[in-house]
A = this chain, B = another copy of it.
Amino acid sequence: MARSATILIAAAVLLAGGPAAAAGQGPSRGPERPNVVLIVTDDVGYGDFGAYGATDIRTPHIDRLAKEGVRLTDFYAAPVCTPTRASLITGRYQQRVGLEEALASAGPRDRGLLPTGRSLPQLLKKNGYATGLIGKWHLGWKPEFAPNEHGFDYFFGFKSGAIDFYTHEAASGLDDLFENTTPVQVDGYMTDLITARAVRFIEQHAAEPFFVDVSYNAAHWPWQPPDRYVKARQVALQAPTDDPPPTRRDYAAMLERADAGIGEILRTLATLGLERNTLVVVTNDNGGEWLSRNTPLSNRKGTLWEGGVRVPAIFRWPGRLPAGRTSGQPGIFMDLTASILAATGTPVPPEARLEGINLLPILAGQAPPVERTFFWRTRTQKAVRRGDWKLLVEGNALFVFNLRADVGEHDDLARERVDLIRALRPLIASWEADVDAERKALAP
């Protein structure tokens, strides 16, 4: 813990000229106030980007980012999307705000993420950044939970977990497309709309520091390929038993369209001369669904096996991060929060109590890798990863895996490594007690 904190401070000094320098400089533009383009795809498998071994999906623009930046092998999300997004916005475990599961369209709509004034976009906004969320929110439907309340100057997108890519209807049957707080109707394939609005946002804010969270719903169901309208049979959930079933080709086409959109965003940055002054991150919100390729991981979205939580993550920042490097440094979504705040020299009030770390000095090779401890919880499973070791608890069953040697989680070492079970299980219990106490304080 002490070590991580030291590195975080060191990183802030190293990469952003230090909090003092940033504070002294005010909102004016300079290389120490880089832009951040965070691109988050949806339900994509760990092995579905070319840079991560995809064989039947072409993602040349994402692959180019990997060639020009650092590719993380051990980056994590939550097993479903709402929790991942909550941890990004708050910089803390999503359990603390009671958002452990995906908000269901059919469920009570009075739940969501309440603004605190210290969420990621809010802090960036306070630091003079133009802030935009383009795409999926999924952190609450009611106006008080809306992106603009959290510090996003601009929001274009939808609030559900999934919408029809063509009609923009949610599973509720209601239209779900907003420009800021206003419901809007816009013709177009959702991926293309997101790309176009992201490009426009970048163009409009090229002269000032900006943060844009480009939150593609590709390649989440309904699996509707671009340029060919297919009625979404089930926006809430799509299954292989649909008639006809969606295909891997549909999924691939959707993901390739998002990659094409990323290409447009990258071209925009280049055209505007913003490439070197912009940190671009591409990642995904949870494990892949059934049309995905999670290879070499086991299991999928919704579970705490690696296939449920490990996601691709690529960081590109020319001149600041090396090109074409792969890093085994374990990271997690709330590290993005800490990393972005550090990279942008954004003051972080102590009460924000960030739980992630700034990964950038490590990815830059300016700081040594650090051992990390991550926790996950669903209704049926609990897990902790510390260093290379993972303890997975499923009912009465305990599994121990060495993720460095066995990323596919095929060789359970529970028998041999009782010492690890005894060391790690109490950590889960402590973590649960901690996050649950905070959640109960929030909504007793």
Contact B396 A237 (CB under 8 A): yes
Question: A239 interface residue, CB < 8 Å from B?
Answer: yes
CB < 8 Å neighbour of A398 from B290, B398, B418: B290
| Chain B residues with CB below 8 A from A300, complex form | 397, 412
Question: A430 interface residue, CB < 8 Å from B?
Answer: no
The complex places the Cα of A241 from the Cα of B414 at a distance, in Å, of 11
Question: A302 interface residue, CB < 8 Å from B?
Answer: yes
Q: A237-B396, A302-B395, A396-B237 are in contact. Are A415 and B293 (CB under 8 A)?
A: yes
Binary B-proximity of A278-314 (CB < 8 A = 1, otherwise 0):
0000000000001111100011111100000000000
| Chain B residues with CB below 8 A from A398, complex form | 239-240, 290
| Chain B residues with CB below 8 A from A372, complex form | none
The complex places the Cα of A70 from the Cα of B294 at a distance, in Å, of 38
Question: A245 interface residue, CB < 8 Å from B?
Answer: yes
Chain multiplicity (copies): 2
CB < 8 Å neighbour of A410 from B291, B395, B408, B422: B408
Q: A290-B415, A291-B415, A415-B248 are in contact. Are A241 and B301 (CB under 8 A)?
A: no
How many residues on the A side are at the interface (Cβ–Cβ under 8 A)? 34
Identify whether the interface residues of A are mostly helix, strand, loop, or mixed.
loop
CB distance from A22 to the nearest CB of B (A): 45
| Chain B residues with CB below 8 A from A237, complex form | 396
Question: A182 interface residue, CB < 8 Å from B?
Answer: no
The complex places the Cα of A396 from the Cα of B301 at a distance, in Å, of 9
Residues on A close to B: CB < 8 A?
237, 239-241, 245, 247-248, 290-294, 298-303, 380, 394-398, 408, 410, 412, 414-416, 418, 421-422, 425
Q: Assuming A240-B425, A290-B415, what are 4 further A-B pairs, CB within 8 angstroms?
A: A240-B414, A248-B416, A302-B397, A408-B410
